[in-house]
Structures are given as structure tokens and as C-alpha cells.
Amino acid sequence: MSRHPAPDELLLDYATGALPEGPALVLALQCALDPATRRTVGQLRDIGGALLEQEDGPAFEESALEQVLAKLDGVAVDSPPVSVPAAAPRGFEWAPAPLVPYLGTAPRWRKVLGGFERMPIRLAHDTHRVELLRLEPGHGLPVHHHVGEEYTIVLQGGFTDSTGNYGVGDFATGPGSQDHEPIADPGSACIALIVLEKPIVLTGPWGRWFNPLVKRGWL
């Protein structure tokens, strides 16, 4: 079991299908990596099933059934799905299945600083900023803090910051407005997926100069 499961309210949002794509991807990755999280989400979906079963709407007209049965004439029962997850690109074998469709065919890391690389992940719906970070052991991110919510899932290696130690399958939220400085643990490089709410648009006289930089992810 992950030592750092996602908080219950996010698991609930995920189970009901209410979560936007970026955070939903983080939760899907934790489900892929952590059986306990998967079990909890399964139990939450059972709540959905139980609520459905408890309903007792008035019976349908028999004509509704006849209509649907007539439609079924042309509808075959699909053969059982063969769930073979798409293979991850070379060098990305650590990527759990839910991430693979987002990697494209030839993903490439971009070097930011010595020992620190990143790769933007494009969502189908542009509600969050998502990127993969790769830190060599002992390297850290520059000290920073966040304006919006931040969700992190560790996919390889691990990191440590003032709030604790995080390994594969662990979920972390940023410590809010506090500065934090995560350092990659010894061993293999730390790879994590980070999802950020779109940065708040800066206001005030300097805003129009800084906002383009924020949008591009430079600030």
C-alpha cells in the first residue's frame, strides 16, 4: 500500500468521473501502481451502484422495451476485449499504461539544468499544466512555491522534501504557499508527473509583462 495515498475527496471525485483530465490522470496512475488505491476506488464505485439500486422510478412503458429490443436486432454483442496495454516507447518502459497514450511515439526530455529534465504533457482538454520531471539522484528542483493546487505522482525512484519521503506510487500535494525544495533520493533517477492548476493571472501594473512568461511556464 502506498504510504501517501491521494486524499479521500480526490478519490471520490475520481470515482464519480467529476475530476478534470489532469488530476484524473494522476489518480489513474496511482490506481495503476497501488492496489490499495484501486480497491478504494472500486469500493467507491460500489457506492454508485448501491445508490442506483436503491432508486425506484416508475416502471417504463412496455413500448420502450419493444423499441430498444427492435434496435438490438442490428446490434451484436461485442467480443470480449483483449486488454493489451499499448507498449511504452523505448526508454519509457517505467510508464504505467494510463500515461502511455500521452507520450506519443518519440517523447524527448528537455534539459533544464544539470541533472534536471522536463517534458510537457499535452492534455486533450487544456485545463491544467502537466509535465514529467526527471531528477538525477541528489539533484533538486529550484526553491519554489505554488499559486494553485499541485498534484504529484512518483513513477520511478523517489524524492524527499520538508513534508516527507515519496516513492513509486506515492501521491503528493505541494505544501501550499510554503517554499519547498524536493531532492531526488539516491538510486535511480526520480521521475514524477506534476499537475498544476493553471497559474493565477497576475494583476497590477507589472501583470501584463509577466503573464506571458507565466503562461509559457517560465515563472
**Beta carbon of residue 86, minimum distance to other proteins (angstroms, whole number):** 10
Rounded Cα gap, residues 129 and 143, in angstroms? 19
What residues from 8 to 27 belong to the interface with other proteins (CB under 8 A)? 8-9, 11-14, 16-21, 24-25
Give yes or no for residue 101 binding other proteins (CB under 8 A): yes
Amino acid (1-letter code) at residue 61: E
**Beta carbon of residue 127, minimum distance to other proteins (angstroms, whole number):** 4
| Chosen residue from 47, 113, 213, 219 binding other proteins by CB under 8 A | 47
What is the separation, in whole angstroms, between the first and last Cα of the chain? 35
| Chosen residue from 1, 3, 26, 41 binding other proteins by CB under 8 A | 41
Considering only the C-alpha atoms of the chain, give the largest distance between any 2 of them, rounded to a whole number of Å: 70
| Chosen residue from 1, 3, 4, 35 binding other proteins by CB under 8 A | 35
Give yes or no for residue 71 binding other proteins (CB under 8 A): yes
Q: Which is nearer to other proteins, 69 or 143 (CB)?
A: 69
| Chosen residue from 6, 26, 32, 192 binding other proteins by CB under 8 A | 32
Give yes or no for residue 70 binding other proteins (CB under 8 A): no
Q: Which is nearer to other proteins, 76 or 143 (CB)?
A: 76
In 3-state terms, what secondary structure has residue 20?
A: coil
Which stretches of the chain bind other proteins, using CB under 8 A? Answer: 7-9, 11-14, 16-21, 24-25, 28, 31-32, 35, 38, 40-60, 64-65, 67-69, 71-72, 75-81, 83, 85, 96-98, 101, 124-125, 127
